[in-house]
Amino acid sequence: MSKQAEFAVILKMNPMFADLGADELQRLSNLCHTQHLGNGEVLFQKGDPGDALFGVRRGQVRIETGASDGSRLTLNFMGPGDLFGEVAVLDGQSRTADATAGETSELFVLRREDFLGFLEREPKVAIKIIALLCQRIRWQSERMEESMLQPLPVRLARRLCALAADFGSEVHISQEQLGVFVGAARESVNRQLQAWRKEAILDLQRGRILLRNMSKLTAIARNE
């Protein structure tokens, strides 16, 4: 399979492009090129212009921001098949976070000028983007409601299940980063993880969490 065909598959998995036909996806994927990053290499920094959409072909990219104490906080992980940079590539505004390769990675890159030119020729893609942005607003509203109404074990279990769906049962994330995800102090996150460790739901190692009982964790995430 050619790289363009691989990118077409990634696009097809994204809600923004899911309803496009094979010919439309092929024309869009033909506009991409690839970029290689070494482990720890910075793709872009907060404040850089939003001039491209990225898809992960292989490797991992961390979306990060700086904490008040000078440390780094990971806001999200992007693995093979993930797209990111959709909003910035549409409005051209500056990046709101940093993106750094968590390991040697290869990315598909679709430049903003090429993408906007495609939208002018394919207006139904623009309609899909409007729908996607509305979906994101709804998702953020749900997360805000969740952070206010759901107890910490449910929020934490849901985040771990989401990470496991992308990266498997070995999740590379710190407890501080988990706290940022679920809106809780690191100490509270640690107490809950330690309780789950005693129940053999998971195991804790430095900088990573090994998920041992996904069925139990899923039940907690569903608040059952």
pLDDT above 90 coverage of the chain, percent: 32
Across 8-24, average pLDDT: 82
Q: With 90 as the cut, is the pLDDT of residue 36 above it?
A: yes
* C-alpha angle 79-70-74 in degrees, rounded to nearest 5: 15
For the stretch 134-180, pLDDT in tens is 876 777 677 666 656 788 899 899 889 988 887 788 888 888 878 87
**pLDDT band of 55, cuts 50, 70, 90:** very high
Contact between residue 55 and residue 43 where contact means Cβ atoms under 8 Å apart: no
**Any idea which residue has 């000028």 for tokens?**
113
pLDDT at 38: 96
